Amino acid sequence: MAGETLQVYFLGTAGALPTPNRNPSCVMIRRGSDTLLFDCGEGAQQQMMRARTGFLVDAIFITHWHADHFLGVPGLVQTLAFNGRTEPLPVYGPEGVHDFVDYTLKIGRTRLSFDLQPVTLAPGSIVRFDGYGVEAFATCHGMTSIGYVLREDSRPGRFDREKAISLGVQPGPLFGRLQRGEAVTVVRDGEDVTVTPDEILGPPRRGRMVIYSGDTRPLHHGPISGLEDADLLIHDATFDDTELDRAGEVFHSTAGEAGEAAAALRAQTLALVHISSRYTSTANHIQDAGQRFEGEVLAPSDLTMVEIPFRE
């Protein structure tokens, strides 16, 4: 629905090894009343407590089956059950998600109060929600892996109030119907006249878009069609640019490569995540990315929240 808030919580921004200040990978996106988790590393539920987000999770999306991206799920589902959850919880991921859910249920050794529903996704798969979708795309991590793009539907064009009144539409419920794309009937010069939305509304306005890469080589090294012009690109930046060769060997990216990806994709803002435990500062990461990307560059600390506004 138009006007919904879109908030991104960086609950875990560490690389494979956590640090005292960074948890394993977990990004929460809240869109209106929906709450989605993208990866769920160890300790994710404690991060949710610290961020005061609550536990109303509608879906979990896993990028790949390295443990630092999914070990938080067993503890989280136990907590949800203890809290009395009854609604099913879908867990989306690449091939292997059914095995993962089976293992999660077996090691818990308790009967959950809700269904944990595995759903296999492949590049191009789209999960529809009210007013937006989450699409999987291919990533390069030396194993089966996918990233995700949350893409809102287009919003109606800007409503021309004065034009509507001039056509005989009085302020009130008819305005709302036109804004929702419905034609309305008014009386003009003693006759019934139909007024259509295209007479009142400007061209459709783009929805917001957030990309989460997961662990990967730079996105622009592969197909990028459909990922352009994101409001926020959350990209692997495990290393700074002094470790360029190492990044290639282990199928990760440097901050500079993330900057190149952001520039190639024409993103508005770049967030650098999956920071290796060898770094106590991200100053070099920000500098490396900034040399290749002119937009805003963030290296968010854990528990940072970023709100995505509409672009007019």
Domains and CATH numbers, the chain: 6-155+205-307 (3.60.15.10), 161-199 (no CATH)
Share of residues in the chain with pLDDT > 70 (%):
98
Tens digits of residue pLDDT in 109-121: 878 999 999 999 9
pLDDT for residue 1 is more than 60? no
> CA 153 to CA 207: how far, in whole Å?
5
pLDDT of residue 222: 64
pLDDT of residue 156: 82
- The answer on whether 64 is annotated among ligand-binding residues is yes
pLDDT of residue 189: 84
State the average pLDDT for the chain. Answer: 94
Q: CA-based angle 227:48:116, to the nearest 5? A: 75
Distance between alpha carbon 183 and the CA centroid of its chain, in Å? 34
Q: State how far the alpha carbon of 133 is from the alpha carbons of 95, 112, 218, 234, 277, in Å.
A: 20, 28, 23, 17, 33
Tens digits of residue pLDDT in 12-46: 999 999 999 999 999 999 999 999 999 999 999 99
pLDDT for residue 187 is more than 70? yes
Tens digits of residue pLDDT in 265-288: 999 999 999 999 999 999 999 999
Q: Which residues pair with 7 in a beta bridge?
A: 30, 307
Location of structure tokens 């987000």: 53
Share of residues in the chain with pLDDT > 90 (%):
80
- The answer on whether 285 is annotated among ligand-binding residues is no
pLDDT band at 124 (very low <50, low <70, confident <90, very high): very high
Would you tell me the crossing angle of helices 97-108 and 72-82 to the nearest 10 degrees? 60
Location of structure tokens 């590393």: 41
- The answer on whether 69 is annotated among ligand-binding residues is yes
What average pLDDT score do residues 103-113 get? 89
Q: Which residues pair with 151 in a beta bridge?
A: 133, 209
pLDDT of residue 204: 85
Higher pLDDT among residues 221 and 213, named by residue: 213
Q: Does residue 67 contact residue 25 with C-beta atoms inside 8 Å? A: no
Pairing of strands 26-31, 34-38: antiparallel
Just list the catalytic residues.
Answer: 68
What average pLDDT score do residues 136-161 get? 94
pLDDT for residue 2 is more than 70? no
- The answer on whether 141 is annotated among ligand-binding residues is yes
pLDDT for residue 148 is more than 80? yes
- The answer on whether 68 is annotated among ligand-binding residues is yes
Q: Does residue 154 contact residue 181 with C-beta atoms inside 8 Å? A: no
Q: Is the pTM of this model over 0.85?
A: yes
